[in-house]
Structure 1
Amino acid sequence: MSQELTYPDPPTPAFLFDLDGTLIDSVYQHVIAWRSALAGLGIDLSVWRIHRRIGMSGGLFVTALLRETGLSLDQGQIKELQKAHASAYAEQADSVRPLPGAIELLSELTARGVPWAIATSGRAATARLALGMLKLPEDTPMITRDQVRHAKPDPDLFLAGAALLKVDPRFAMVVGDSVWDLLAARRAGSLGIGLLSGGYGRDELERAGAFRVYADPADMLDRLYELGVRKAGSED
């Protein structure tokens, strides 16, 4: 009979969730808001070009689009554009809904004692609007763009989220819907989990570093066992 080996208990898994396109169905509201803001400055961009940059911070988003189009804006115009986007998004906020399974997934993780936080490129003024629709309290662990030096694809948001949960980023799993989430996760040293609910394809997410890809939060909830999340007292 083989003797059972003794070894340190493995760290409890922790999750860092992106928000838009990951927990709430808001990607296309952001796309339309950016298109409206850009049109206000006389810039006509196709929706697909805008969608490919959703997930970056507002400032980096604008810089990337300007580089692609060869246009130039001064800092005052960039700030005006960001304010116009926030205003246009707020007008559509009533149409935003939680993604299927998002509320249940967060509730199940909490019930199992699994730490989690939200880490979003959105600023607090818009991001915190999601707490009510997700049935989350105001003190929910959340890191927003306002709190870090750089947003995705830099790792700052996820490093700050891990610090907030007091976990090593290497033992956290980042859940996101865009390649920018997954690139940031890799740079933070965390495992990346991709969701198809933001409009990116499976191949794109896997190439960016996702080790698992699920359709949406409901699909992820159904297969939590694949991520090492067990029910209390489970030996399997």
Structure 2
Amino acid sequence: MAHKAATLDDCAPGTVLARAKAILLDSDGTLVDSTRSVEASWDKLLGDEGAGRFEKHYHGQPGRRVLRLAIPDISEERLEELFNRVEGYEIASASDVEAFDGTARFLSELEKAKAALSRECWAIATSCTRPLFEARYRPLSLPFPSVLVTADQVTHGKPDPEPYLLAAERLGVEAKDCLVVEDAPGGLESARAAGAFVVSVLNSAGEGTVGPLADLVIPSLADVSIEAREGELVLLAR
């Protein structure tokens, strides 16, 4: 029987959806809406290279992996040249990025939970490099993570589990005791492979696409809240 994720259907406000020692968050497509910037930047690059357009399944994967998928015979030297060019496009268009509804409140709740627990309890693991993440995230004045894993800090990016395993390790917990919030198949595969409880938001893909890869599907972070209870984090329906 195919895996079927739980949903918020028939969940009253305050219903406990999951418990975890820590929460690991994707950024693009989960916390912030960078779709316009990403797709325009990549369409420009790939169009100039005669390599088609940015495809939906590229979302959530590191730029170098996207280049290898889009241009299979690319040399390493050419890959680095094109990667630097497209990242430049994305940084230049970072002003097009906005926080999703619910992001600021949810992150503020995590900061309150961190204070209540007296320990670090959340992290961001993104397929961006550090410079690109900061260009998109800092202008939004969102709580900045004390633990941040970017694509330039790992050997194998999403859909490999390494980003989430490293984020959990830096928080001092095991990935199996974490809850991951993601939006794209590549990130969801990464989280599942790490052994975490996987929550998918529907910001960039439909339930039919993400449902088989998630334990719980929610419309967005605006539909849930997080708080500290008895030494752990509790995810609640709103």
Q: TM-score, normalised by structure 1?
A: 0.81
Aligned mate of 2:187, from 178, 181, 188: 181
Identity within the alignment, % = 27
| Equivalent in the alignment of 2:163 | 157
- Structure 2 CA distance, aligned partners of 1:177 and 1:223? 22
Contact 1:38-1:81 within 8 A present in 2 as well:
no
1:154/1:75 CA distance change after superposition, 3 Å: same
Q: Deviations 1:139-186 (Å, cap 9, x if unpaired)?
A: 632110111110000001000100111111110011100011111111
Query: Which residue of the partner structure matches residue 133 of structure 1?
Result: 140
Per-residue deviation, 1:112? 2.3
What is residue 99 of structure 2 aligned with on the other side? 98
Residue 206 of structure 1 and its aligned partner are, at CA, apart by 1.3
Q: How many residues align?
A: 210
1:36 equivalent in alignment to 2:40: no
Q: 1:181 to 1:94 in 2, by over 3 A?
A: same
Structure 2: 5+ residue runs without aligned partners? Answer: 1-18
Larger Rg computed on CA atoms: 1
Q: Once the 2 structures are TM-superposed, how far is the Cα of residue 221 of structure 1 from its aligned partner?
A: 2.7
Of structures 1 and 2, the one with the larger relative CO (CA 8 A, separation 6+) is: 2
Kindly provide the amino acid, as one letter, of the partner of residue 87 in structure 2: A
Query: Does 1:78 find its partner at 2:86?
Result: no
Range that drifts further, 11-20 or 78-87: 11-20
What SS does structure 1 have at the residue aligned with 2:225? helix
- 4+ long deviations beyond 3 Å: 222-225
> Relative to structure 2, which stretch is displaced further, 74-83 or 186-195?
74-83
**1:19–1:120 Cα contact (<8 Å) kept:** yes
Cα distance, 1:45 vs. partner? Answer: 1.5
The CA deviation at 1:213 is: 1.1
Matched, 1:61 2:95: no
Cα distance in structure 2, aligned partners of 1:133 and 1:185: 26
What residue in structure 2 maps to residue 14 of structure 1? 22
User: Aligned in 2, Cα 1:134/1:219: closer, same or farther, shift over 3 Å?
Assistant: farther
Amino acid in structure 1 at the alignment position of 2:207 = R
> Equivalent residue for 1:109?
110
Unpaired runs of 5+ residues, structure 1, are: 1-10, 232-236
- 8 Å CA contact 1:148–1:157 kept in 2: the answer is yes
| RMSD over aligned Cα atoms | 2.5
| Alpha carbons 1:158, 1:185 under 8 Å: kept | yes
TM-score (norm 2): 0.80
